[in-house]
Chains A and B, each alone.
Chain A
Amino acid sequence: MNVGTIDAGKTDVKRVMRDYFTDLGEAAKDPARKVAWCTSVGPAEILRAMGFAVYFPENHGALLGATRVSADTIPVANAQGYSPEICSYLTSDIGACLKGVTPLTKAYGLDSVPRPDVLVYCTNQCKDVMHWFAWYARKWNVPLIGIHPPNHLPQVLPEHVADVAAQYRRMIGQLETITGAPLDPEALRLAVARSREATDLWEAVLNTARARPAPLSFFDGAIAMGPIVVLRGTQIATDYYRALLAELQAKVIAGQAAVPGERLRVYWEGMPVWGRLRQLSDVFANNRAAVVASTYCNSWIFTDFDAEQPLESMARAYLSIFINRDDAFKEAYIERLAAEFGIDGVVYHAARTCPNNSNSSYNLPQRLAAKGIPGIVVDGDLCDLRCFSDEQSTTLIEAFLETL
Chain B
Amino acid sequence: MSIVADTDRPDTDTAVRTEVFWGVDCGSAEIKVAAIDREGRLLTTRRGRTLFPLVEHVHRSLAGLGDELSPIIDGDRAKLPADGRPPKLRPGHKVFATGYGRHHIDFVQGQLTEIKAHYLGVQQQLQLQQDYTIIDIGGQDAKVIRATPSRVEQFAINRKCAAGTGAYIEELAHRLEVPMQDLPRLAAAHDKELTLNSYCTVFSGQEVIKLLMQGERVENLIHALYRSVVKRVLEMTAIDTDTLVFSGGVMSHHDVLMPLFAERFDAVRTLLAPNAQFCGALGAAIHGMNEESDDGLPNHQ
Contact = CB atoms under 8 A, between A and B. Distances in A.
A391 B158 CA distance: 13
Contacts of B115: 395, 399, 402-403
A384 B260 CA distance: 37
Contacts of A141: none
Interface stretch (B87-95, B147-155, B205-213, B245-253): B147-155
A284 to B, nearest CB: 13
Contacts of B267: none
Nearest to A403: B152
Given A391-B100, A402-B152, A403-B151, A396 B157 contact: yes
Interface string A348-389: 000000000000000000000100001001010000000000
14 contacts: A286-B2, A369-B154, A374-B154, A391-B100, A394-B103, A395-B114, A399-B114, A399-B115, A399-B116, A399-B152, A399-B155, A403-B116, A403-B152, A403-B153
Contact of A395 (B100, B151, B152, B159): B100
Interface residues of B, number: 17
B157 A395 contact: yes
A67 interface: no
Interface of B: 1-2, 100, 103, 112-116, 141, 151-155, 157, 159
Interface string A75-110: 000000000000000000000000000000000000
B1 A399 contact: no
A374 B1 CA distance: 21
B112 A402 contact: yes
Contact of B155 (A286, A391, A394, A403): A403
8 closest residue pairs by CB, A with B: A399-B115, A399-B113, A402-B116, A398-B113, A403-B152, A391-B100, A379-B159, A395-B113
B151 A392 contact: no
A78 B115 CA distance: 37
A286 B114 CA distance: 17
A287 interface: yes
B135 to A, nearest CB: 15
Interface of A: 286-287, 369, 374, 377, 379, 391-392, 394-396, 398-400, 402-403
B31 to A, nearest CB: 16
B54 to A, nearest CB: 13
Contacts of A369: 154
Nearest to A369: B154
Contacts of B154: 369, 374, 403
Nearest to A378: B159
Contacts of A400: 155
A286 B113 CA distance: 14
B157 A392 contact: yes
Contacts of A374: 154
A391 B113 CA distance: 11
Contact of B113 (A377, A379, A402): A402
A256 to B, nearest CB: 22
Contacts of A379: 159
Nearest to A287: B1
A44 to B, nearest CB: 37
B28 to A, nearest CB: 9
A18 to B, nearest CB: 36
Nearest to A263: B301
B163 to A, nearest CB: 14
Given A402-B112, A402-B152, 4 more contacts: A395-B157, A399-B152, A402-B113, A403-B116
Nearest to A375: B154
Contacts of B153: 403
Contacts of B151: 403
Contacts of B155: 399-400, 403
Contacts of B103: 394
A174 B157 CA distance: 52
Contacts of B152: 399, 402-403
A368 B100 CA distance: 29
B283 to A, nearest CB: 12
Nearest to A398: B113
